[in-house]
Structure 1
Amino acid sequence: MITNEQYVRLSLEFNLFFLRIAKEHAIFAAASLPPRDKAIQQQLLAVKQNYETLLQRAVSLSHNVISKEVLTSDEIVTELTLPAEEATEFLTGLPINKSITKEELNMVEAAKTRAETGLSGEVSRLNNEALTLTNRTIAFLNNLYRNISECKAFSYTYPTMLHHVTEESKFAVMMLTKLQNKDTIDSVKELIELEVFWNHIMEEHSEFIRGYLDPSEKQLFETANDFAKKLELLVERTLNLQQNPNLLPEITRESINQVTELRNFKKQGAEGILACEIKSIIPPLLADHVLREANHYLRLLNSVK
């Protein structure tokens, strides 16, 4: 069981990370639909707006509450997030609430902490609303994925990408449910499951980057392909921990090394895409999005190694 103070802090830290990720999932899905599916696009933009509303509340509750470690991890926002939002809004024509990002950047700049136990009621309501919205979004995305898979709808993104973001949402439901139960990931079994999940996410990120690069970007393609192959092997090794959990510290160190290299590659890619130096069909915000996910995972890995 975690304390009330930990509950507030951990809940807000997770919501600051996930609610932004989830609203961006809706942006990417909406931007990938053809004109025929304008109604579905509008529904996705409504989902995005609902997540923005919850994210704004999370930011308002988080001032001087969350840890300096999280604030400085570049998992909530990076120096690239605001320009990536501006560029993506310009390129897609889809509205993005950039005032939230500016407030979070100011919060990161302050990077202070204080104990706060009087927020548990508001945080509990935030968690419950995030759970309700995310469960509804999972059902919506599953239906869209099914229609695309059955050739009843079309998207300019991969079906696997849609499945990928749905799995991330399911993981978030699990995390929020644990927090509502004043529980956290601490057993060896849960830590192994955490690493299996995130190593697989990192593997798929490498595959998506590889697939979204212009064919002329041969060197970047090969680099992304190498990351995909290495992470596929790492996922297999992480799965084998279920039979030999004593190797967890070794695999965690390997995960830190590989994800650090991938994170650096993602950062260079995000900078290159924003500077229009890389040919791809990767929206600038997606490049920053996957960078933040790598930063989030690295912080988790370093906290349990």
Structure 2
Amino acid sequence: MTTIPMTEYYIQKSLELNLFWIRIIKEHFIFMQANLMCQDVPYIQQTEEFKSQFEGFLHETICLANGLIGSEVLLSGELLTDKTLSAERKTVELTGIKIGIPITVEECNLTPGTLPMPGLSPELAANISSLNERIITCACSVAEFMEKVYQDVIHCRLYTTKLPSIYAHQRRETLNYIKLLRRLQNHQRLDPQFIIVEEEMFWNYNMMVHAEAMRQLLDFSEQAMIKKANDFAQRFHNLVSKFRDDAKPPVGLKQITSESRRATVAIRDFKATSTDRILECQLKGVMSALLTDHLLRETNYYLRILNAKV
């Protein structure tokens, strides 16, 4: 249980959560745009609208966040890595998709805050509360759209070059973000043991899906990388299978957490290497550097959570 006063906790956690998840969801629409057919104009227009909305949310959050987020978050690589800007620029160059690169540059200049936070005000809390509510409303629409796209793809009403399960995966991430934001809005504090189980169930499953997706997107000539991705998928599948019931922690939770951390460190390095090799044009497949950097940031986010537990 944190000792941070509710106002400080609410402000800092809202900003940190939004800085991470807004960029993740924004990038979901960049990847979707790259995989849609030119004839599917309504879908393209909707993805562009959502992408623009989340870029606006990100800019607004950055303006509020300077000096108010924890140094461990800022240094974790979950918001940006040393590869993000290069990956964005390469994606613009290769696809022509518009990306708010100045927003990323602006975010690179964020500075951390310390607790207790100076200069907090009811007005700041009200502004963040308003932002959170607007994000929740928009994210609910995103989840509905992702479900529609998934259904259209699997029922052969829409063709994309993205694996159908990825749309379901992105919807699941969106719903998780909505859940976490709603908890903050309701000032809901749950049992720490429940949170540990919930987080490890969610993120170990996510890491498994990441490995499965990378395995599918690598060129068949990349046998060594395919094997590594497959091994990671199996490793995280084994960890996921240990969580049978989210109502209570599994036996040996501390040991599972330690193994989750070791596996997450290893897959982080795999994703970082993959991103570097794509940027250097040394890895064959249908993954962009922005996609693998996106997956890397999610892994860094989970690793920070795990590091606080072990």
Is contact 2:16-2:69 (8 Å) kept? Answer: yes
> How well do the aligned residues superpose, as a CA RMSD in angstroms?
1.5
Residue identity in the other structure for 1:122: N
Do residues 290 (structure 1) and 295 (structure 2) align? yes
Structural mapping, 1:52-201, within 5 Å: 52-107=55-110, 110-113=111-114, 115=117, 116-118=119-121, 119-201=124-206
**Structure 1 or 2: more helix by fraction:** 1
The superposition leaves residues 194-237 of structure 1 with CA deviations (integer Å, 9 ceiling, x where unpaired) of 11111000000000010000111111001101111111111101
**Following TM superposition, by how much is the alpha carbon of 1:259 offset from its aligned partner in structure 2, in angstroms?**
0.5
Q: Which residue of 2 aligns with 1:269?
A: 274
**Following TM superposition, by how much is the alpha carbon of 1:238 offset from its aligned partner in structure 2, in angstroms?**
3.1
Residue identity in the other structure for 1:224: A
Query: Which of the residues 259, 283, 286 maps onto 2:264?
Result: 259
The superposition leaves residues 115-169 of structure 1 with CA deviations (integer Å, 9 ceiling, x where unpaired) of 1532211110111011001000111111111110100001101000010000000
Q: CA 1:112–1:120 in 2, change beyond 3 Å: closer, same or farther?
A: closer
CA–CA separation in structure 2 for the residues paired with 1:80 and 1:231 = 25
CA–CA separation in structure 1 for the residues paired with 2:251 and 2:231 = 28
**Following TM superposition, by how much is the alpha carbon of 1:184 offset from its aligned partner in structure 2, in angstroms?**
4.2
CA–CA separation in structure 1 for the residues paired with 2:284 and 2:18 = 33
Q: Which residue of 2 aligns with 1:23?
A: 26
Is contact 1:20-1:51 (8 Å) kept? Answer: yes
Residue identity in the other structure for 1:55: L
- Structure 2 alignment gaps of length 5 or more: none
**Following TM superposition, by how much is the alpha carbon of 1:245 offset from its aligned partner in structure 2, in angstroms?**
3.7
Greater mean deviation of Cα atoms: 176-185 or 205-214: 176-185
Structural mapping, 1:205-220, within 5 Å: 205-220=210-225
The superposition leaves residues 79-109 of structure 1 with CA deviations (integer Å, 9 ceiling, x where unpaired) of 10001000011111110001111011111xx
Is contact 2:193-2:249 (8 Å) kept? Answer: no
CA–CA separation in structure 2 for the residues paired with 1:190 and 1:151 = 39
CA–CA separation in structure 1 for the residues paired with 2:238 and 2:97 = 38
Is contact 2:50-2:142 (8 Å) kept? Answer: yes
Residue identity in the other structure for 2:85: L
Could you tell me the TM-score, scaled by structure 1's length? Answer: 0.95
Q: CA 1:228–1:128 in 2, change beyond 3 Å: closer, same or farther?
A: same
Is contact 2:212-2:230 (8 Å) kept? Answer: yes
Is contact 1:241-1:247 (8 Å) kept? Answer: no
Q: CA 1:46–1:243 in 2, change beyond 3 Å: closer, same or farther?
A: closer
Greater mean deviation of Cα atoms: 27-36 or 164-173: 27-36
Query: Which of the residues 14, 20, 26 maps onto 1:11?
Result: 14
Q: CA 1:173–1:244 in 2, change beyond 3 Å: closer, same or farther?
A: closer
Residue identity in the other structure for 1:247: G
Aligned residues: 303
**Following TM superposition, by how much is the alpha carbon of 1:185 offset from its aligned partner in structure 2, in angstroms?**
4.9
Q: Which residue of 1 aligns with 2:35?
A: 32
Do residues 301 (structure 1) and 306 (structure 2) align? yes
Which secondary structure state, in structure 2, belongs to the residue aligned with residue 35 of structure 1?
coil
CA–CA separation in structure 2 for the residues paired with 1:217 and 1:170 = 34
Which secondary structure state, in structure 2, belongs to the residue aligned with residue 239 of structure 1?
coil
- Structure 1 alignment gaps of length 5 or more: none
Is contact 2:77-2:297 (8 Å) kept? Answer: yes
Which secondary structure state, in structure 2, belongs to the residue aligned with residue 94 of structure 1?
coil
Could you tell me the TM-score, scaled by structure 2's length? Answer: 0.94
CA–CA separation in structure 2 for the residues paired with 1:299 and 1:181 = 24
